[in-house]
Amino acid sequence: MKLRYHIHLSGFLFILLTIFVGLAAAQRPNNLIVWGFGVLLAMILVSGVVGSSMMRGLKVRRLDIRRASAGEPLEIRYVVENRSRWRSAFAMHVQEVDRRGKRTSFPMLVQPSDGWLTRVGPGESQICDAVFWPSQRGVLALQCIRLSTQFPFGFNDRSVDHAHPHEILVQPRIHPVRGELMQSIATGELGGFGVSRQPGPGEDFYSVREFKPGDSIRQIAWKRSGISDELLVIQRSVSAPPRLRIVLNLSASPSSLKFDENCGVSAEELEERAITMAASLAGAAEQHGLEFGLSVLGFDTPSIPLRRGYWHRERVLTSLAMIELDSPRQQSEGNEPGEEERSSLVVVHPARIDPRCAPEHALHWSATRFEQLLDLEIGTAQEHDESIRQRTKEGMFA
Amino acid sequence: MTLRRRFRFWLLFLLVFSVAAVAIATIRLWLLMLCGPILVSSWYLCEGHRPLCLSRALVNLGSVIALTVVAFSWLMEPDAGRVMELLGLFVLALLVLRQFQERTAREDAQQIVLAAVLVISSTIQSDRFLFGIILLLWVFTLIYVVMLFQVYAGAHGARERRNTFIPPGAFPIAPLEIRFGPRDLTRMRLITISVSLGILLISVLVFVLFPRQILFRSGVPGNRSVQKSGFAETVDLIASERITTSRREVFTLEWIEPGGASTKWARPVLLRGAILERYDSAVGRWVASNTPWDDRKSSLQVVPDRFTELGESRIDQQIQTYTLWFEMRSMATDIFFSPWVPVSITTFDPREITFNRSNMLMTDSGRRSISSYSGYGLRVQPFPAEAALSSLEGGLPAPIVTPRFPVQAIGDFTRNILEEMGVDHDVAEGETIWQRNRRVSSSIMDWLEDNCLYTTDLRDFVQIAGEDPIESFLTRYRFGHCEYFASALTAMCRSVGIESRLVTGYVAIEYDEGIQRYIVRESNAHAWSEVRTGPYQWTGLDPSPRSVLEELQAANQSWSDSWRWVYDRIDFFWNSTIVGFDQRSQKNLSSRFTENWREAFSSTLDSLSALLQSVNRFFRFGIAGYVWMVAVLMILIGFIMAFASLHRRRRHLMAALGVKHQDRELRKLLTTDLQFWSVALNRLARSGYAKRRGESPLAFSRRVRHASLASEDALERLVQLLYRVRFGAQRLNSKERAEAVSLARSLELSRATP
């Protein structure tokens, strides 16, 4: 950790003013100007001493980050600890920087906001948060945390970079799938409510088993227990929700994708859109209570079985987040959807639909119809990022 | 009060201070009376819940108008000296206008910068005491305001940046919470005080060490404005403006008769400060002579409580000798003011003075203390015997010359006047030249008293190009103040061949019966003439009408005069210590500091040596005793170092074990038994395995074992022993302690990778 000084315009102007007053003091034998010159010099010195001493004994660390999703604010919380016995630290900025100390080296982020602390008293720990806005999914590598201040006079910026490498997996953005589409998927021929092969709190009889401590006496099958010498309880089957298998077809490399090049979207962007569509489908399926699974064609990613629930959705989104589109495409074996799985099948293609990669009953979605299939409430990711960039340029950060 | 409101409040305070500084610097109190309430009203109009602010267009329009007025004013009277004044006025207008507009944080910063420009421009114009006080307060307020601004602007910017991330319809983000409670405020005030003190200390150091010797070519610090209303060593007749009538007390004068009683002298006492013998008609200025004859100086060492003779031989001081005591109130100068004719002098502290025998003026030529002199005593003979004068002037009279005045018109005018009065300006039969001088100069003085009007207001005295100001005074206007009267008398005397010179100084006219002293104020600064009336004799002639002087004196008196001494004392300290701090003061301070330091060092050495000798004598060791004492001293130092090291280790161990707050007995036991843990921690830290704060010993040992490949068993055993002693109430005997320490020393670890 090295204390760095950055002098900015106001600092230069102040130094110029000091020189000017110094020259005036030399030219005009007025002792008040001499004293004023002394005050200006002292302000520069004291500013350096107070600012740098304030930075000593400060520690910063990140609190655990639960989840991050593209297009959603990512709040990172920091704990700033002041180990000094006497000194307070005022007006502290907390920023994420890379190893070279540059702020804007995250390709996945638009310009983040800073963490801010008005004061950290001696021996105190304060928590602050900074809001980031990941613009795309993937692994976001955080490297250093910068603590900086301009206190007390704002002539220069004193900063200390604390190395805290950390990786955050940014999940793909989820857009709502248009309601009628989801209904048509959920009520498909191969989906619908049925009886599961596993025991649970259902209506239909499944089997009997031996009584175990903790079983309710209401579940005891008295007649069967009367026949045998041991207590037996009734097991019932759970009701099975509709099932959906999402297949993301990324087997074709971006250069071999066939699409209208005049649409203003690149092949890579189409693939990203396909991933977003798959994630949106998973999100919608979780919202509608469906069991869903994921298969990715073209990468050596294991197929995720059909399950439901929030944590399963997280698993699917994590799998989608980890797809590296730059890596070479493979002929996936075993990832192709089979006939034996009783589920609706939606195959998401980045460009032109290839019906050969799935059974006949499968639905095929293409990323070229991104806007038609998904409900883009706040515009596309690019539009949103552009809007923030525009506002940044307009000086709202100033 | 919110952070923003608090900052704005103190910003307003700073601005009012800035206006006060300008008003005092430019002596325009109406500025403060006008702008102060306007600025205060901005708080009620623009900082409330329903602010009534001016639009930016109106503010810009106002700024343009202010700029136009200032530019027009400068064009009407283009003077480089007015630049700072006009700049100050323009900035003031800008500052007041912008206070009524809705401001961002950046514009608040601009207000601070404008206030700084305003005060700096004022600093160039003034060095008055009141201005200095305002400047000091302004600096302290500025420090607080700038610190508040840093916190306020930083918080404001952080909140703005966060708000930018909330697009319409997007996920809500909690707004940035800005906390600034009473504890924060207290801390902020504490840091402001400490920073202010630090700045004050450093600035005083810079003030003292500023290289005046190299940079100040004129050598005289201080602004001319201080001397403008008082005594001046030159007389400039071109500057025809109303002179100020400052009531500041310069010094007091006690006039003691030969019998020892304080009394008031029958006539106003003319106290000589400078003799001006050369007149430059091109610029209308009287300056001191620089001929060798006029520069016969003697250096004298003066000590307190004893009068030092000024004459070369002993002067009879029993006849007509009066004693005068001067006590300085608000003046720092190296001139000893004295009436005609001083015969001996004493000062309140030892000094070296220079006595100019040609004109009998005295100046301080030695190392002057920072606060200048505080007083001196004189013995004077208003009617000196020729022997006394001869002794004072070194026994050699100045050569008799027939002077001429460079303005021909004045000579013609004087001759006409004397002719009209029936006075012959030539030496009559049976008359000496000195008698002629006395006769003719008295006539001229009478004419001036009768025909010219005394006034301090010279705004109507318009200088005519190509016409000498004395000629204008005599032939055109016939009104002016003492400098014109004295100049006219001197010029007229010279034009008819009478040796005369202009004198500046003070006239003691106000006598306080209560304290039986003359009070001499700045408004008593005066000019008169001296005419040569003997080989050694010069007679002072004051052509200014005495009655008018007394009337002016009475008119200027006010109820506050009796309390002015309180302010004047402080003002004197300011002028002598701050404004008058010059190269000599710097040198003096430096030598005094060095001397004091040397004295302190040598006295410490002496006392130490005396102590050692007395100890040696007490034990009767002889010469070898010193060797013993050195040995004892070395042992003592070693003991102190060992104790400090032990104490440090003990504190370190207590911190590592977290037993700081345990009772003393337990702490002592634990720190004795657990020495090995301190050794182990040090050894591990050297190997790159520093224990983290708050990390338990067990977690620490696990981390070390995980990272290292060696000494696992030893560390595990030590940790187990630590827990048994710390929490299991096990006590170790000396052997076990030694074993544990040696085990700790035997820890061999591979170095941790960074």
The arithmetic mean of pLDDT across residues B235-246, rounded, is 67
Nearest to B223 among A10, A30, A49 (CB): A30
pLDDT at A253: 86
Task: Report the percent of chain B where pLDDT is more than 70.
Answer: 90
Report the distance separating Cα A357 and Cα A249, nearest Å. Answer: 8
The arithmetic mean of pLDDT across residues B185-208, rounded, is 93
Tokens of A272: 């990203």
Choose between B462 and B137: higher pLDDT.
B137
Residues of B in contact with A32 (CB under 8 A): 123, 126-127, 131-132, 135, 578-579
Task: Report the percent of chain B where pLDDT is more than 90.
Answer: 30
- Listing DSSP states for B38-85 in one string gives HHHHHHHHHSSSS--PBPHHHHHHHHHHHHHHHHHHHHHS--GGGHHH
Are B146 and A114 inside 8 Å of each other by CB? Answer: no
Q: Is the dihedral of CA B404, B409, B414, B416 positive or negative?
A: positive
pLDDT at A333: 61
Residue B660 half-sphere exposure, CB side, CA atoms within 13 Å? 5
Does residue A110 have a pLDDT over 70? no
Report the distance separating Cα A201 and Cα A8, nearest Å. Answer: 68
3-state secondary structure of A96: strand
Bridge partners of A307, per DSSP, are A292
The arithmetic mean of pLDDT across residues B711-727, rounded, is 83
Residues of B in contact with A387 (CB under 8 A): 167
The arithmetic mean of pLDDT across residues B47-52, rounded, is 83
Q: Quick one: how far is CA B356 from the chain centroid?
A: 31
Residue B546 half-sphere exposure, CB side, CA atoms within 13 Å? 13
- pLDDT tens-place string over residues B577-607: 787 787 777 887 888 888 889 889 999 999 9
Does residue B752 have a pLDDT over 80? no
The arithmetic mean of pLDDT across residues B50-60, rounded, is 90
Lowest-confidence region among A33-47, A62-76, A140-154: A62-76
Using alpha carbons, select from B558, B27, B567, B526 the residue that is nearest to residue B249.
B567
Lowest-confidence region among A13-17, A273-277, B47-51, B288-292: B288-292
Are B155 and A151 inside 8 Å of each other by CB? Answer: no
Does residue B660 have a pLDDT over 60? yes
DSSP-assigned letter for residue B543: -
Distance from B745 to chain A by nearest Cα, in Å?
A: 30
Q: What is the CA angle B129-B134-B137, rounded to 5?
A: 130
Distance from B185 to chain A by nearest Cα, in Å?
A: 10
Long-range contacts (CB closer than 8 Å, 24 or more residues apart) made by B660-668: none
Q: 3-state DSSP helix/strand/coil percent for chain B, to nearest 5?
A: 55, 15, 35
Distance from B722 to chain A by nearest Cα, in Å?
A: 27
pLDDT at B215: 55
User: Which of A215-229, B42-56, B136-150 reaches the highest mean pLDDT?
Assistant: B136-150
Are A28 and B207 inside 8 Å of each other by CB? Answer: no
Does residue B138 have a pLDDT over 70? yes
**Cα separations in angstroms, A162 against A2, A99, B567, B683:** 9, 10, 57, 26
User: Which of A228-242, B139-153, B156-170, B716-730 reaches the highest mean pLDDT?
Assistant: B139-153
Which residue on chain B is closest to A133 by alpha carbon?
A: B165
3-state secondary structure of A185: helix
pLDDT at B303: 86
DSSP-assigned letter for residue B557: -
Which residue on chain B is closest to A115 by alpha carbon?
A: B158
Q: Quick one: how far is CA B97 from the chain centroid?
A: 34
Choose between B557 and A313: higher pLDDT.
A313
pLDDT at B179: 79
The CA-to-CA distance between both ends of chain A, in Å, stands at 28
Burial A175-212 (b: 16+ CB within 10 A, else e): bebeeebbeebbebebbeeeebeeeeebeeebebeebe
pLDDT band at B191 (very low <50, low <70, confident <90, very high): very high
pLDDT at A182: 79
DSSP-assigned letter for residue A85: S
Q: What are phi and psi of A5, to 5 degrees?
A: -115, 135
Using alpha carbons, select from A206, A193, A282, A279 the residue that is nearest to residue A237.
A206
Are B151 and A398 inside 8 Å of each other by CB? Answer: no
Query: Is the CB of residue B216 less than 8 Å from the CB of residue B583?
Result: yes
Does residue B292 have a pLDDT over 70? no
Q: Quick one: how far is CA B754 from the chain centroid?
A: 57
Single-letter amino acid, residue B118? L
Lowest-confidence region among A184-198, B465-479, B573-587, B594-608: A184-198
pLDDT at B222: 43
Are B191 and A90 inside 8 Å of each other by CB? Answer: yes
> Tokens 């315009």 identify what position?
A9
pLDDT at A94: 92
**Cα separations in angstroms, B324 against A66, B57, B306, B392, B664:** 92, 68, 14, 18, 74
pLDDT at B296: 77
Which residue on chain A is closest to B180 by alpha carbon?
A: A118
> Tokens 């929700």 identify what position?
A241
Are A41 and B203 inside 8 Å of each other by CB? Answer: yes
Residue B562: CB atoms within 10 Å: 12
Report the distance separating Cα B377 and Cα A357, nearest Å. Answer: 119
Are A38 and B204 inside 8 Å of each other by CB? Answer: yes
Distance from B705 to chain A by nearest Cα, in Å?
A: 23
Report the distance separating Cα B122 and Cα B139, nearest Å. Answer: 14
Report the distance separating Cα B141 and Cα B696, nearest Å. Answer: 49
Average pLDDT, chain A: 82
Choose between B386 and A376: higher pLDDT.
B386
Report the distance separating Cα B378 and Cα B344, nearest Å. Answer: 6
- Listing DSSP states for A208-254 in one string gives EEE--TT--GGGB-HHHHHHSSS-EEEEEEEEEPPEEEEEEE--S-G
Using alpha carbons, select from B123, B159, B160, B128 the residue that is nearest to residue B139.
B123
User: Which of A290-304, B79-93, B191-205, B555-569 reaches the highest mean pLDDT?
Assistant: B191-205
- pLDDT tens-place string over residues A329-388: 877 566 666 666 778 889 999 988 888 888 888 889 998 888 878 877 644 445 555 555
pLDDT band at B226 (very low <50, low <70, confident <90, very high): very low
Lowest-confidence region among A128-132, B161-165, B374-378: B161-165
Does residue B244 have a pLDDT over 70? no
Using alpha carbons, select from B10, B30, B8 the residue that is nearest to residue B19.
B30
Nearest to B216 among A29, A88, A384 (CB): A29
Bridge partners of A243, per DSSP, are A291
The pTM (predicted TM-score) of the whole model is 0.67
Q: What are phi and psi of A26, to 5 degrees?
A: -75, -35
The arithmetic mean of pLDDT across residues A281-285, rounded, is 91
pLDDT band at B629 (very low <50, low <70, confident <90, very high): confident
Residues of B in contact with A21 (CB under 8 A): 120
Q: A32: buried, middle or exposed (CB in 10 Å: 19+, 13-18, 0-12)?
A: buried
Choose between B681 and B40: higher pLDDT.
B40
Using alpha carbons, select from B357, B356, B342 the residue that is nearest to residue B393.
B357
Does residue B239 have a pLDDT over 90? no
Asked, as a colleague might, if the bond just before B341 is cis with ω within 30 of 0, I would say yes
**Cα separations in angstroms, A385 against B167, B589, B628, B701:** 10, 67, 83, 49
Choose between A367 and A102: higher pLDDT.
A367
Tokens of A60: 């910063």
Report the distance separating Cα B505 and Cα B232, nearest Å. Answer: 8
Does residue B389 have a pLDDT over 80? yes
Which residue on chain A is closest to B169 by alpha carbon?
A: A378
Q: What is the CA angle B426-B427-B428, rounded to 5?
A: 110
Nearest to A90 among B151, B578, B580 (CB): B151
Residues of B in contact with A152 (CB under 8 A): 143, 146-147, 150, 191, 195
Q: Is the dihedral of CA B108, B112, B114, B115 positive or negative?
A: positive
Are A378 and B168 inside 8 Å of each other by CB? Answer: yes
pLDDT band at A206 (very low <50, low <70, confident <90, very high): confident
Report the distance separating Cα A369 and Cα B563, nearest Å. Answer: 93
Using alpha carbons, select from A354, A292, A284, A350 the residue that is nearest to residue A323.
A350
Does residue A191 have a pLDDT over 60? no
> Tokens 């590592």 identify what position?
B656
3-state secondary structure of B259: coil
Nearest to A29 among B120, B123, B220 (CB): B220
Are A46 and B581 inside 8 Å of each other by CB? Answer: no
Question: How does strand A194-199 pair with strand A232-240?
Answer: antiparallel
Does residue A396 have a pLDDT over 50? no
Lowest-confidence region among A181-190, B254-263, B517-526: A181-190
- How many helices (H) and strands (E) are present in chain A, helices listed first? 8, 17
Report the distance separating Cα A321 and Cα B526, nearest Å. Answer: 95
The arithmetic mean of pLDDT across residues B179-198, rounded, is 90
Are B221 and A30 inside 8 Å of each other by CB? Answer: yes
Tokens of A327: 């890596």
Does residue B378 have a pLDDT over 50? yes
Q: 3-state DSSP helix/strand/coil percent for chain A, to nearest 5?
A: 30, 30, 35
Which residue out of A19, A79, A113 would a mutagenesis test of the B interface target, given it has the greatest number of B Cβ atoms within 10 Å?
Answer: A113
Residue B383: CB atoms within 10 Å: 9
Are A39 and B127 inside 8 Å of each other by CB? Answer: no
Residue B386: CB atoms within 10 Å: 12
Helices B664-673 & B624-657 angle (0-180, nearest 10): 100
**Cα separations in angstroms, A75 against A10, A35, A188:** 32, 49, 40
